[in-house]
Amino acid sequence: QGIEYQNLNSSVYLIGKTDWLNGEFLPCSEQKELDLGCDYYAPQTLKTPDGRTIAIAWMQMWLRSIPTSYLGHGWAGMMSLPRELWIKNNVLHQKPAKEVFAYFEAAKEVKKVVINASTQFEILRGETYLLSIKCPSLPHRFEIFLRKGESNFTLVSISDGTLTFDRSKSGFSIKGNRLDGECNIRKCNLANETSLDMQIFVDVSSVEIFINEKYCLSSTIYPFPCSHGISFDGDGVEAEIEFSPFNNHKRSE
């Protein structure tokens, strides 16, 4: 349906009320996708001791070529970051679980920049990190190049109210079955948003994007070695950028 339901197996949700006595669920909203990325399947939820609802899914989709399989690495996909779900004004909201942030180093900041052309910042470079971007208004045109190498990159772009995730040039190729269609490009409608608060979690083989605590796009990527560059392009984009490298010492704990 347009830019929605592009995955052969989409994870969907409905908002409603449960009649526990009669065993009925009474929806009061339309069905919507929980995640708009290329790879988000079979999410499971749990309740934390403090009452939060946390969802975790398998970040891989069926009927795709998987580089870690055809390269002989012996694994396929990964679990997504845990995310918190809650309802506000009859709208589902999502954000990374607060525990996730303990695994990143202190942020390096690039404050109040205006991006007019291809721009790089020396402090922004790496393989595993959290990139946080805030804009006071939704950019007309804004491009973010992640895991950039000599011949590859992963592109997150905003143009005329639509965010596009494009991994077609990310590195080792991912191809879909004839039933799967285009498996490397996903879009998210942001036309109703007036500002941008975006968190991009980049790992060795994944990108997870959280936008305005409402929209999420989770996808696998398989960059070539030494693809550590980050760059930006835009038309007068006012932004505050924070870069937090993953803390490898925390992993060993």
Convert the pLDDT of each residue in 65-119 to its tens digit.
Answer: 999 999 999 999 999 999 999 999 989 999 999 999 999 999 888 878 999 888 8
pLDDT score recorded for residue 250: 62
pLDDT score recorded for residue 181: 80
Report, as ranges of residue numbers, the positions in the chain whose pLDDT lies below 50.
none
- 156-169 in b/e form (b: 16+ CB < 10 A) is bbbeeeebbbbbee
Pairing state between β 215-220 and 83-88: unpaired
pTM of the model: 0.94
pLDDT score recorded for residue 180: 78
pLDDT score recorded for residue 118: 83
pLDDT score recorded for residue 251: 59
